[in-house]
Amino acid sequence: MTIPGVGPVNALSFIALVDDPTRFSRGSDVGAFFGLTPKRHQSGEIDWSGRVSKCGDSAMRGLQFEAASCVIRQVKRFSTLKSWAVRLAGRRGFRKAAVATARKIAVLMLTLWKNGTDYQWTKEATA
């Protein structure tokens, strides 16, 4: 996997924890599996989203957070993922953007693993 910010340790940990990519019917379910989705409470007219659920493996969640931090701060090459993450960090703050990017990276890793394809970098920024 050549996803920005994802190294060999992160990729191997992801493969070891997921084990079988077909166990997730939707790609977005892997974010909940790692505890990277917000808690929600709905009752009557009340509807609020809280912090992340932290229901998955904490070490993997930390690795995904580090990969997302690397994408936002250190990766120089342009990609749509980096562009989205930097804009989100400007609007919502670095930590929230890093958690959202970590979830997005996990979904992307699962999708690429299921399809057997590589990540496609874009050549340049489009205005």
Per the domain annotation, does 8 fall within a domain? no
Q: How many domains, the chain?
A: 1
Predicted pLDDT of residue 1: 47
**Mean pLDDT, the chain, as a whole number?**
85
- Output Rg (C-alpha) for the chain, integer angstroms: 15
Predicted pLDDT of residue 127: 46
Over the stretch 36-51, which tens digit does the pLDDT of each residue have? 887 766 677 776 666 7
Beta-sheet strands, E only, within 1-127: 38-43, 46-52
d(Cα 100, Cα 69) in Å, to the nearest integer?
Answer: 11
Over the stretch 52-74, which tens digit does the pLDDT of each residue have? 777 888 899 899 999 999 999 99
Over the stretch 76-85, which tens digit does the pLDDT of each residue have? 888 888 999 9
pTM of the predicted model, to two decimals? 0.83
Above 50 in pLDDT, residue 12? yes
Range of the domain at 43: 13-115
Per the domain annotation, does 35 fall within a domain? yes
Per the domain annotation, does 127 fall within a domain? no
Count Cα neighbours of 71 within 13 Å in the Cβ-side half-sphere. Answer: 35
d(Cα 116, Cα 44) in Å, to the nearest integer?
Answer: 44
